[in-house]
Amino acid sequence: VGELDLIRQIRGRLGGPGRGTVVGLGDDAAVFEPPKGLELFTCDAFVEGVHFRRDFSSLQEIGAKCMVANVSDVAAMGGFPTRATVALCIPEAASDREVDELYDGMIEVAARYSFEIVGGDVVSSREGLVISIALLGAAEAGRIVTRSGAVVGDAVLATGSFGASEAGLASLLKGLPRSAAVDAARERHTSPRARLKEAQAIIEVATPHAMIDVSDGLSTDVWHVAEESGVGIRLERDAVPIAPAAQEIGHQIGRDPLELALASGEEFELVAAIPPSELSRTVDHVEAVAGTEVTRIGEVVEAERGCTLVMGDGTEMPLERRGYEHLSGDER
Amino acid sequence: VGELDLIRQIRGRLGGPGRGTVVGLGDDAAVFEPPKGLELFTCDAFVEGVHFRRDFSSLQEIGAKCMVANVSDVAAMGGFPTRATVALCIPEAASDREVDELYDGMIEVAARYSFEIVGGDVVSSREGLVISIALLGAAEAGRIVTRSGAVVGDAVLATGSFGASEAGLASLLKGLPRSAAVDAARERHTSPRARLKEAQAIIEVATPHAMIDVSDGLSTDVWHVAEESGVGIRLERDAVPIAPAAQEIGHQIGRDPLELALASGEEFELVAAIPPSELSRTVDHVEAVAGTEVTRIGEVVEAERGCTLVMGDGTEMPLERRGYEHLSGDER
C-alpha cells in the first residue's frame, strides 16, 4: 500500500471536518478554532511487543486502547479531549484492512469521548507497529488539576477498583482457561475506559488539589503525586479497592491480590487528593453522575513520612514502587 | 535508564514553562493559553533505517531535522509554530547522553523558530529509534493557505533551489569523497531549514491560493497541489532552480541534475500558486526579508491538462511523480 493511498483511505473513513475545524486531515497541518479557556496537549507512543501484542488484542482494541490512554491523561488534568493526530509506523507487509481496523478502534474512541482525529502520518516501520498519538484538550481555567498540589491533610480517593488489568495480562501470558473472572480481567486489559465523566464530576463538587490517572500502577502513581507535590501519602491497605477478577486470578496464579492491585498499570482509574470535607459529596456525585464507585484510600501527610502502606493494626511499611514492564513479566 | 529518570532529565534540560504555559513537561498533559487566531496541528514520525541513519547524521542533526520537518508543515500553511510534544521510542541500550543529544537538536530548532517543547513520552522500542513529533501552530484567520486553492492562471513559484538533499543522500550512500559540493549537499540533507520567514513574507505581500512544502519531492508535491486544487500545473523545465551541488554531484554520479531536483525529498522549499500580478513584488519582498531567491517555475492550467514538464522548445511531457524511498535507493 502506498503511503498516499493510505492517507486518502483514512481521510475517507474520518468524514469531513467537524465543528470549528477549518482544514482536516490531508493538508500539511490541520487548522481549527482554538478553545476558549485553557488548552491541554499530551502524547504517547505504543510499541508492538512492548505495549501490546497482536495475539492478545485485535487491532481495533489496540487502536482504541492507545487513544484511551491519551484521553485518560487529559481527563486527569480536568480537561476534555478536542482533537488528535495519529502517526502510524507500519510494517511494509501491512494491509489496508489492518490500518482500517486500527482506525476503527481510534474512531470509536473519538466518537465515545466527542473529539476529532484531524491529522495523521503513515510511515514504514522496520519491525512491528508503532502508534504515536498526540491529543489536544480544553478546560476552563479554574478546572485544571495537576499532580503537584496535594497538601497535608487531604483525603486521597480513587475511582473504581484495581488489579484487573494486570490480572488480565497475566492470564493472557499464562494462557489461563476462560472463566468469568478471566474474561472480565482480559476485557479490562484489552479494552479499558478513560474516567472522563468521573474526573469532571469530581471537579464539579470538589476542589481537588492533585489528580493523576493510574497508568504506571497505583503505587508508582501515588509516589508521582507525592513527589511532585512535596508530600507523603499513607495508603490504607484494607481500603484499596481490589477488582473481584484480580482477587480470583491472584489466588489462581499465586499472586497476592493486593500486590496485583498496587502494581497493575493501564488501569486508567483516577487518584485525587481533596479536602476531607468534600469527600462524601464527591463520592455521592460521582456515583450519581457516572455510576462509578469512589473510595477513600488514604491521606496526605508530611513529606518526611514518605509513602507508606498502613496495615489493619496501624503499623506502616514503605510503599514499594511496583509496576511491571508490560509484556515482559519482569519487575521494574 | 529508567523512563522516569529520562523524563526528569529532559525536563531539566527544557527549563521552566514559557510564556502562556501553565503546566509544562512532566504532568499528565501540558496546559497553556490557546492562540488568538486559528490553531494548527501536525505530526510526523521518523524511523531509524527508514528516515535516518545514525552513520549519516549525528543524533543532534536527527533530532533537529525531525523538528524542522514539522515546522516546515506549519510554515507552509501560513502559520508559525507554538508548542511541540515529542514521543521517543528508544532501544533499551540507549544512554542518557544519546537522549540528550537528540534533545540538543530539538531544543536548538525550538529556539531558532521560537516555540516550546511542552510534553514528551519516552518508551522502549524493539529495534532502532522512532521519533514522533506533534507540533501546534498559530495563524491569523486570513493567513491560512491550503494545498487546495490554486486556480487556473496562477503563477507557480518556488523558494530556493532543488536537488541538494537527494544529492547529499546519494553521496552518503555511495561514499563519495569530500568536496565543496559534497559537503554542501550533505549539509543540506542532514541539516535542512524550514522556510518560515519566507512563507510569512509571501503572505505579507501576496494572496497565495495554495502552498506546500516540498517534503516528498518537487514533482510529487506539485501533483499534490494540482490534485487537491483540481487543476493542472505546467512546470517549465528551464526555470526549475537546480542547486549547484546537485548539478555537480549529478554529473559525478551519472544522474540528470533536473531529475535529482524533481525527485529530491526533504527539501523543505515552498511551492506556491499566486496571482501573476503579485509575482514581482513577492520575489522582491522575500529576497529583502529573508535573503532567499524566489523563482517562477510554472503556471496553473486546467485539470484536463494534468501536470507537465515544458521543454525549452515548448513541447510538453507528462510530469512523472518521482521521489525516492529514503535510504533504500529504490524508486517509489
Model confidence over A72-128: pLDDT tens digits?
Answer: 999 999 999 999 999 999 998 888 899 999 999 999 999 999 999 999 889 999 889
Cα–Cα dist B197/B113, whole Å: 9
Cα–Cα dist A27/A127, whole Å: 28
Instruction: Please tell me which of the candidates A40, A44, A332 has its beta carbon nearest to residue B31.
Output: A40
Residues 272-331 of A with CB under 8 A from B: none
pLDDT category at B17 given cuts 50, 70, 90 is confident
pLDDT in tens, A234-283: 999 999 999 999 999 999 999 999 999 999 999 999 999 999 999 999 99
- Computed on alpha carbons and rounded to an integer, the radius of gyration of chain A in Å comes to 20
pLDDT in tens, A276-331: 999 999 999 999 999 999 999 999 999 999 999 999 999 999 999 876 444 443 33
Which residue type, as a one-letter code, is found at position B317?
Answer: M
- Which chain B residues touch A5 with a CB distance below 8 Å? none
Q: Is B57:B114 a contact under the CB 8 Å cutoff?
A: no
Check residue A4 and give its pLDDT: 67
Sort A293 into a burial class: Cβ within 10 Å, 0-12 / 13-18 / 19+: middle
CB neighbourhood size of B209 (10 A)? 21
Q: Which of B77, B66, B15, B75 minimizes the C-alpha distance to B43?
A: B66
Check residue B193 and give its pLDDT: 97
CB spacing of A39 vs B34 below 8 angstroms: yes
pTM (2 d.p.): 0.95
Angle separating helix axes A180-190 and A164-174, nearest 10 degrees? 110
Check residue A327 and give its pLDDT: 45
Cα–Cα dist B76/B97, whole Å: 33
- The most confident of A97-101, A118-122, A155-159, B18-22, by mean pLDDT: A155-159
Q: Which of B192, B177, B163 minimizes the C-alpha distance to B52?
A: B192
Residues 84-113 of B with CB under 8 A from A: 85-89
Quick one: cell of B129?
A: 529509534
Q: Which of A293, A329, A55, A323 minimizes the C-alpha distance to A190?
A: A55
Phi then psi dihedrals of residue A330, to 5 deg: -80, 140
Give how far A87 is from chain B: nearest CA, Å: 6
Mean pLDDT, residues B14-29: 89
CB spacing of B41 vs A126 below 8 angstroms: no
Helix (H, G, I), strand (E, B) or coil at A34: coil
Check residue B1 and give its pLDDT: 46
Helices of type H across chain B? 3-14, 59-76, 96-112, 164-174, 180-190, 196-205, 218-229, 244-253, 257-263, 279-290
Helices of type H across B208-243? 218-229
What letter does residue B246 receive in the DSSP assignment?
Answer: H
Check residue A173 and give its pLDDT: 96
pLDDT in tens, B37-92: 999 999 999 999 999 999 999 999 999 999 999 999 999 999 999 999 999 999 98
Phi then psi dihedrals of residue A136, to 5 deg: -100, 155
Mean pLDDT, residues A217-228: 96
Instruction: Please tell me which of the candidates A2, A41, A89 has its beta carbon nearest to residue B30.
Output: A41
Indicate whether A152 pLDDT > 50: yes
Check residue B128 and give its pLDDT: 93
Check residue A120 and give its pLDDT: 87
pLDDT category at B222 given cuts 50, 70, 90 is very high
Check residue A328 and give its pLDDT: 41
Helix (H, G, I), strand (E, B) or coil at B168: helix
CB spacing of A43 vs B126 below 8 angstroms: no
Q: Is B85:A44 a contact under the CB 8 Å cutoff?
A: no
Q: How many residues does chain A have?
A: 332
- Which chain B residues touch A28 with a CB distance below 8 Å? 42, 72-74, 76-77, 147, 212-213
Indicate whether A52 pLDDT > 70: yes
CB spacing of B146 vs A23 below 8 angstroms: yes
Which residue type, as a one-letter code, is found at position A4?
Answer: L
Check residue B4 and give its pLDDT: 67
Flag the least confident range among B5-19, B23-37, B167-181, B185-199.
B5-19
Residues 244-263 of A with CB under 8 A from B: none
Flag the least confident range among A22-26, A129-133, A144-148, B199-203.
A22-26
CB spacing of B33 vs A35 below 8 angstroms: no
- Which chain A residues touch B49 with a CB distance below 8 Å? 126
CB spacing of B40 vs A30 below 8 angstroms: yes
- Which chain A residues touch B85 with a CB distance below 8 Å? 41-43, 134
pLDDT in tens, B279-294: 999 999 999 999 999 9
How high does pLDDT run on average in chain A?
Answer: 93
Q: Is B146:B78 a contact under the CB 8 Å cutoff?
A: no
Check residue B127 and give its pLDDT: 87
DSSP string, A219-265: HHHHHHHHHHHT-EEEEEGGGS-B-HHHHHHHHHHT--HHHHHHH--
Higher-scoring residue by pLDDT: B326, B104:
B104
